Amino acid sequence: MHIIYQQVKTINESLLRKLKMTRKWLFALCCSIFTSSVIAVTIEDVNVAINDTFNYLNSQKSITEIDEKRLQNNIDILESGSREMTFSPKDFAIILRAQLNAAEAINRKYKFNNLPIDLSQVQKLLDNLDDLKEVTDSYLGDLEYTAGQISAHQLDNYNLAYRYWSTCGESGHAGCMNILASSYESGEFVVEQDLDKAVYWHSKTINTGIRWMCAGLFSARRLAILNTIGIETHKSTSFWLDTASELRAKLATHTDKPGVCDEDSEYLLNYVLLGFDDKWLDKIAKIKLDSKNIVNNGREKYLSLFSKAKTIEELQPALDIMYDDNRRCIGAEEFALKVRRDSTALSQILNYVSNLDPEQCAAEKYTINRLHQQSMAD
């Protein structure tokens, strides 16, 4: 996200200079996005709102700490600017990306707190994106990635989500490629299971390196898991784990945030997939998770219980307080890999994940189910 922000910042500064110098407007999308009062804005206001939005979201606030009023104010400024001024398609894409990201964050907080979401707002933003796609061949992958997230998780429209993700995946966006890969792993929702395509998309994601932060190394970890459960990935499990480690090490040089890209998961996978060497547990013990970030809720307790636990019930005190079902599913999958030859334990894990949100658990559930089938056949 930091790298992407630097690119956007450069574009914005260039945009501001260009608009100040020429005032030549090439393209107008004058849709009323939000039902706010009209705000008289300058091009300087537009630029400040864009940069403040990306700066703020780049700070990776906990979902409960998101300042929706600040983000909404930026959305309103940008909406007024797009109504009062005319922009080239490339410039409008920057404005729309800021609006989409801000609206997605606001609604994610509302959804977390079980508050109603104004779906008309995000729907109008998606309509603007579709209009923009009609008049430009410019790269819109970042917008389509966010549009897919909104479509799937806020509009509950997976067909629309996969339309966006497929387009931006084909354009090389690692986040979208990662989603496509995981979808083909499980065959849930829109696409049919196709493990060859899963490996293909994960491999393409890895080839993007750290350009999209954690996406590449997450795909490397997924290929390590797939290889372990008997899927042909063309390399060894240790190769994929080493690849993930190398990518995370590169990324760590670009951030001072601890535990970048779930470092503990990397060590745990090395532990369970490569022979249960205690050195990995020692590495985990040295990690300091950010206790103020609710995404980490329950994870430290889970890690302390993991090595000695023999059943999923022993981990439930930690799983129950985790941030969401996706985090619980990841934990269940990690434990399933640990006990992968114990059919009884795997049956209990499978029963546990069957009660979790399938939207957040599809790829992990496939892993657990396959491990269970293999243990029954042994």
pLDDT digits (tens, 9 = 90+) for 185-227: 988 767 899 999 999 999 999 999 998 889 999 999 999 999 9
Distance (Å, whole) CA 355 – CA 325: 10
pLDDT > 90? residue 342: yes
Distance (Å, whole) CA 220 – CA 110: 33
Question: Residue 259 domain-assigned?
Answer: no
Looking at 139, 171, 203, the residue that finishes a domain is 171
Question: Residue 256 domain-assigned?
Answer: no
Q: Mean pLDDT over residues 262-267, rounded?
A: 93
CB 169 within 8 A of CB 163: no
Same domain (yes/no): 4, 140 = yes
Structural domain of 293: 289-378
Mean pLDDT, the chain, as a whole number? 86
Q: CB 59: neighbour CB atoms within 10 A?
A: 9
DSSP classification of residue 36: P
pLDDT in tens, 90-102: 899 999 999 999 9
Give the DSSP per-residue string, 185-208.
HH--TTSPP-HHHHHHHHHHHHTT
How are the residues of the chain apportioned to helix, strand and coil, as percentages rounded to the nearest 5?
A: 70, 0, 30
Looking at 123, 146, 171, the residue that finishes a domain is 171
- Tokens, residue 32: 């009323």
Question: Residue 305 domain-assigned?
Answer: yes
Question: Residue 364 domain-assigned?
Answer: yes
Question: Residue 239 domain-assigned?
Answer: no
Q: Of 281, 279, 206, 277, which is closest to residue 245 (Cα–Cα)?
A: 206
The CB-based long-range contact list for 52-57 (8 Å cut-off, 24+ gap) reads: 53/98, 53/101, 53/102, 54/5, 54/8, 54/9, 54/98, 54/101, 55/5, 57/1, 57/101, 57/102, 57/105
Question: Residue 179 domain-assigned?
Answer: no
Position 28 scores a pLDDT of 44
pLDDT in tens, 117-144: 888 899 999 999 999 998 888 889 999 9
Length of the chain, please? Answer: 378
Looking at 171, 195, 216, the residue that finishes a domain is 171
Percent of the chain with pLDDT over 70: 88
How many domains are there within the chain?
2
What single letter denotes the amino acid at residue 101? N
> Is the whole-model pTM more than 0.75?
yes
Distance (Å, whole) CA 184 – CA 222: 12
Question: Residue 341 domain-assigned?
Answer: yes
Question: Residue 161 domain-assigned?
Answer: yes
